[in-house]
């Protein structure tokens, strides 16, 4: 290992072929202007995230581990090892790392629009339109589909939430924070844990009771994210957003109550019905009834494409996009009332559907 003032060296290559750069502590301090508190853009139990700039002008986000953290080093190592091996446009890219004994940091691409939670809660100036929310849902589902179905072995994120979905300047969504991720090598796709970990409000209730972790645990969390996109309600308030939403969709003309009122009706009613259908299917209490993320992504994409066509005035009469069926999902026991009386084939189909990073890393 180098001294603090040593020159940075090249690191390992990830699956993308991009070189993973090793940074010295002096370099990280320079990037963040000596860890200026004014540069803090995020903070957690065991780390602070600073906005910084490389010598070539590239903006980055620097996640620095707190020295007092107990679980931090293990989660940092998990994240670094995973992001060395995978690369996808809807996953936040790791650019480099610093692994000095008392000063560990990960350097990521900087995403200008912050996290989805901030954008939905009104903490920043951005207001997301209905079409933008659909595009974000598709992006996040695509990233999760890659983790579940295109990585070998598959990866379970275990902390899917709006605060871990970041947005770039074009509002492209990318999943972040892989410190709790698990790589599955078992043939049955189940991992038994001693404790359920994740974020309250997003945790799969079946996982909490059985301690059996599967891909479907991420699906539940993603369903909560979809409900947040629809409603912009806090996950944990007087009532959990899932319980509230499940009750509201039983009512006639439920969209007036469930869709974010700040949208002021500026959304496609059919796509709202479809998005709610997808979200509720993801938060089924029984994991076996939840769809695979590949199907969720396909249906979200179809929903988005149809909505964009309509908003651009290019959709032909009756030309609704077909939506893939949830072959592995049992019919929901929740009675669903569409808020519209659309006669399109798409609405009819949906109504029927509803019914019917290295091993040596951090070793010092």
Q: What does the pLDDT look like over 264-280, one tens digit per residue?
A: 999 999 999 999 999 99
Query: Does residue 92 lie in a domain region?
Result: yes
Query: Does residue 4 lie in a domain region?
Result: no
Residue 120 sits in the same domain as residue 103: no
Cβ atoms 164, 44 nearer than 8 A: no
Residue 166 sits in the same domain as residue 68: no
Number of domains in the chain: 2
Residue 97 sits in the same domain as residue 126: no
**Tokens in use for 102?**
């008392």
Residue 21 sits in the same domain as residue 38: yes
Residue 120 sits in the same domain as residue 146: yes
Q: What is the CATH number of the domain that holds 103?
A: 3.30.200.20
Integer Cα distance of 304 and 156 in angstroms:
25
- Picking from 77, 94, 109, the residue at the C-terminal end of a domain is 109
- Picking from 109, 138, 153, the residue at the C-terminal end of a domain is 109
Euclidean distance between the first and final Cα of the chain, in Å?
9
Residue 127 sits in the same domain as residue 170: yes
Residue 214 sits in the same domain as residue 304: yes
In the annotation, is 305 catalytic? no
Q: What is the CATH number of the domain that holds 221?
A: 1.10.510.10
Distance of CA 182 to the CA centre of its chain: 15
Residue 104 sits in the same domain as residue 139: no
**Tokens in use for 74?**
């293990």
> Alpha-carbon torsion 69, 70, 73, 76, what sign?
negative
Residue 120 sits in the same domain as residue 77: no
Q: How far is CA 156 from CA 83, 251, 268, 277, 296, in A?
A: 13, 35, 33, 24, 16
Asked, as a colleague might, if the bond just before 153 is cis with ω within 30 of 0, I would say yes
pLDDT of amino acid 19: 61
Integer Cα distance of 364 and 64 in angstroms:
17
Cβ atoms 202, 222 nearer than 8 A: no
The vertex-247 CA angle with 246 and 250, nearest 5°, equals 95
pLDDT in tens, 86-142: 889 999 999 999 988 778 899 999 999 999 999 999 877 789 999 999 999 999 999
- Picking from 58, 92, 109, the residue at the C-terminal end of a domain is 109
Residue 132 sits in the same domain as residue 93: no
Task: Give the chain's largest Cα–Cα span.
Answer: 70
Residue 83 sits in the same domain as residue 126: no
Residues of the chain with pLDDT under 50: 1-7, 9-10, 12-17, 187, 194, 315-364
Distance of CA 57 to the CA centre of its chain: 28
| Strands of the sheet with 9-13, listed across from one edge | 9-13, 19-22, 94-100, 103-109, 59-65, 47-53, 40-43
Catalytic residue among 99, 159, 204, 299: 159
Quickly tell me which residue has 């995973």 as its tokens.
Answer: 82
Query: Does residue 364 lie in a domain region?
Result: no
pLDDT of amino acid 45: 65
Q: Whole-model pTM?
A: 0.81
Integer Cα distance of 310 and 114 in angstroms:
29
Query: Does residue 361 lie in a domain region?
Result: no
Who contacts 273 (Cβ-Cβ below 8 Å, separation ≥6)?
Answer: 255, 338, 339, 340, 347, 350
Query: Does residue 3 lie in a domain region?
Result: no
Domain containing 86: what range? Answer: 9-109
Element spanning 352, H or E: helix 345-355
Distance of CA 110 to the CA centre of its chain: 16
309-330 per-residue burial string, b: 16 or more CB within 10 A, e: under 16: bbbeeebeeeebbebeebeebe
pLDDT of amino acid 191: 53
């Amino acid at each position: 290992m180098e001294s603090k003032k040593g020159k940075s060296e090249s690191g390992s290559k990830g699956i993308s072929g991009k070189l993973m750069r090793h940074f010295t502590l002096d370099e990280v301090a320079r990037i963040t202007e000596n860890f200026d508190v004014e540069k803090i853009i995020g903070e957690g139990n065991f780390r602070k995230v600073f906005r910084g700039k490389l010598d070539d002008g590239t903006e980055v986000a620097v996640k620095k581990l707190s020295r007092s953290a107990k679980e931090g080093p293990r989660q940092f190592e998990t994240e670094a090892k995973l992001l060395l091996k995978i690369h996808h446009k809807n996953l936040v890219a790791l650019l480099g790392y610093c692994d000095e004994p008392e000063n560990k940091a990960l350097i990521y691409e900087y995403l200008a629009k912050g996290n989805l939670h901030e954008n939905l809660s009104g903490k920043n100036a951005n207001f997301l339109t209905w079409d933008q929310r659909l595009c974000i849902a598709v992006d996040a589902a695509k990233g999760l589909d890659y983790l579940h179905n295109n990585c070998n072995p598959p990866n379970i994120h275990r902390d899917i939430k709006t605060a871990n979905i970041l947005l770039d300047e074009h509002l492209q969504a990318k999943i972040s924070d892989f410190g709790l991720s698990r790589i599955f090598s078992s043939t049955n796709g189940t991992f038994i844990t001693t404790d359920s970990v994740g974020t309250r409000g997003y945790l799969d209730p079946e996982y909490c009771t059985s301690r059996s972790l599967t891909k479907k645990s991420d699906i539940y969390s993603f369903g909560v994210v979809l409900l947040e996109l629809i409603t912009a309600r806090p996950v944990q308030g007087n009532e959990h957003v899932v319980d509230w939403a499940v009750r509201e969709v039983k009512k006639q003309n439920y969209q007036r109550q469930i869709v974010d009122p700040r949208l002021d009706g500026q959304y496609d009613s059919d796509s709202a019905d479809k998005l709610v259908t997808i979200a509720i299917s993801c938060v089924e209490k029984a994991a076996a009834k939840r769809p695979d993320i590949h199907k969720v992504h396909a249906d979200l994409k179809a929903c988005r494409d149809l909505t964009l066509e309509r908003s651009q005035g290019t959709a032909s009469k009756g030309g609704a996009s077909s939506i893939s069926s949830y072959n592995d999902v049992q019919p929901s026991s929740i009675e669903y009332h569409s808020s519209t009386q659309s006669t399109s084939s798409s609405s009819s189909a949906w109504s029927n559907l509803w019914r019917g990073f290295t091993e040596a890393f951090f070793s010092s």
